[in-house]
Structure 1
Amino acid sequence: MHDRVGAFLAERTPRRALTLLAFLLLLAAFRQLLPLLVFFVAFERGLGAAADFLVEKTRMPRKGAVLGVVAVVVALVGTGLAVGAGRIVRAVREARDLPERIGEIREHPLVKRLHEQVTDTDALVEQGKHYAGSALHYVSQVGHIVAYTLIGFIFAVVFHLERERLAEFRGSVDPKSFLGTLLRWCAHAADAVSLTIQLQLVVAACNTLLTLPLLLLLGIPHVAMLMVLIFVSGLVPVIGNLVSGAVLVFFAYQAKHWLGVGLMVSLTFLLHKIESYYLNPHLTARHVPLPGFVLVVSLVIFEHLFGFAGLFLSFPSLFVAGKIRAEFRDEDEDELAAVSHRSLDPALTSRRARIPR
Structure 2
Amino acid sequence: MDRIIRFFKRDDVDLYLTLALLIIIIYLMRGFATVVLLTTIFAYLGIKLSRWLNLRTHLPYWIAVIVVYVGVIALFIGALSYAAPTLVDQLKVIPDMLAKAITNHPVLNKNIDKWVNQAIHSSELIQNGKALLVTGIKGLSEVGAGFTHVLMAIFLSFIFAVSRGRMMVFGRQFLQSKFKKFFTNVYYLTHKFVMILGRIIETQLVICTINTILMTIGFMIIGMPSIMVLSIIVFILGLVPVAGVLISMIPLTLLGFASGGLIRVVWIIVLVILIHAFESYFLHPRLMADRTDLPVFVTFITLIIMESLLGAWGLIIGIPIVSFFLDILGVQNSEPRRVTSSKKATSR
TM-score of the pair, normalised by structure 2: 0.60
The offset of 1:256, in angstroms, is 5.1
Inter-CA distance 91–195: structure 2 relative to 1 (3 Å threshold): farther
In the other structure, the counterpart of 2:197 is 193
The CA RMSD measured in Å over matched residues stands at 5.0
Q: Displacement of 1:319 after TM fit?
A: 2.0
Preserved contact between residue 43 and residue 156 of structure 1 (Cα < 8 Å): no
- Residue equivalent to 1:21: 20
1:285 is paired with a residue whose SS is helix
> What secondary structure, in the 3-state scheme, does the structure 1 residue paired with 2:163 have?
helix
- Please say if residues 51 and 64 of structure 2, whose CA atoms lie closer than 8 Å, have aligned partners that are also in contact: no
CA distance in 2 between partners of 1:16 and 1:188 (Å): 13
Aligned letter for 2:151? Answer: V
Task: State how 1:214-233 maps to structure 2 within 5 Å.
Answer: 214-215=218-219, 218-219=223-224, 228=233, 231-233=236-238
Residues 289, 295 of structure 2: 8 Å contact kept: no
> CA offsets per residue over residues 190-231 of structure 1, 9 Å max, x none?
123312322222222332343246457544799969964764
Contact 2:65 2:161 in 1 (8 A): no
C-alpha distance after superposition, 1:250-272 (max 9, x if no partner): 97578354566357525642564
What is the deviation of 1:10?
A: 1.0
The answer to whether residue 66 in structure 2 is matched with residue 71 in structure 1 is: yes
Q: Which amino acid aligns with 1:295?
A: T
1:235 maps to which of 232, 240, 244: 240
8 Å CA contact retained: 1:41, 1:190: yes
Partner of 1:353: none
- Structure 1 CA distance, aligned partners of 2:172 and 2:211? 43
The corresponding residue for 2:101 is none
Tell me the secondary structure at the aligned position of residue 235 of structure 1: coil
Tell me the residue number matched to 2:206: 202
Q: How does 1:156-167 map to 2 (within 5 A)?
A: 156-159=161-164, 161-162=165-166, 165=169
Aligned-partner Cα distance in 1 for 2:144–2:285: 24
| CA–CA distance in structure 2, aligned partners of residues 26 and 274 of structure 1 | 34
Aligned mates of 2:291, 2:179 — CA distance in 1: 24
For residues 230 and 134 of structure 1, the distance between their equivalents in structure 2, rounded to whole angstroms, comes to: 23
Partner of 1:301: 305
* Bigger mean CA deviation after superposition, 10-19 or 317-326: 10-19
Say which SS state the counterpart of residue 60 (structure 2) adopts. helix
Q: Measure, in 1, the Cα distance between the counterparts of 2:248 and 2:296.
A: 22
Alignment partner of 1:142 is 2:147: yes
Aligned to 1:40: 39
Distance 1:57 1:171, change over 3 A: farther
Q: Give yes or no for contact 2:285–2:299 (8 Å, CA) kept in 1.
A: no
> 1:155: Cα distance to partner?
1.5
Kept in 2, the 8 Å contact 1:298–1:314? The answer is yes
SS in 2 for 1:326: coil
Where structure 2 has 5 or more consecutive residues not aligned to the other structure, the ranges are 89-134, 339-348
**Cα distance change of structure 1 residues 164 and 243 upon mapping to structure 2, 3 Å threshold:** closer
Deviations 1:33-92, CA, capped at 9 Å, x for gaps: 33333343334333433443344445x5xxx62122133235436755886776688899
The CA distance in 1 between the partners of 2:11 and 2:173, in whole Å, is 25
Residue aligned with 2:329, SS? helix
Within-5 A mapping of 1:170-185: 172=176, 177-185=181-189
Preserved CA contact (<8 Å) 1:249 1:265: no
- Taking structure 1 as the reference length, what is the TM-score of the superposition? 0.59
Could you list the runs of 5+ residues in structure 1 that have no partner in the other structure?
94-129, 335-357
Deviations 1:2-30 (A, max 9, x none): x8875452146753552232121132133
Q: Distance in 2 between matches of 1:252 and 1:307?
A: 29
Describe how 1:108-119 pairs up with structure 2 within 5 A: none
- The amino acid of 1:153's aligned partner reads F
Contact 1:189 1:316 in 2 (8 A): yes
Alpha-carbon offset, residue 148 of structure 1: 2.0
Q: How far apart, CA to CA, are the structure 2 residues paired with 1:140 and 1:307? A: 17
**In the aligned structure 2, how far is the partner of 1:200 from the partner of 1:139?**
25
- In structure 2, how many angstroms separate the alpha carbons of the residues matched to 1:221 and 1:136? 31
Amino acid at match of 1:65: P
Q: Would you say the 8 A contact 1:212–1:227 is kept in 2?
A: no
SS at match of 1:22: helix
The 3 A distance-change label for structure 1 pair 245 and 141 is: closer
Maintained 8 Å contact 1:242/1:268: no
On the 8 A contact 1:252/1:260 being kept in 2, the answer is yes
Q: Distance in 2 between matches of 1:308 and 1:134?
A: 16
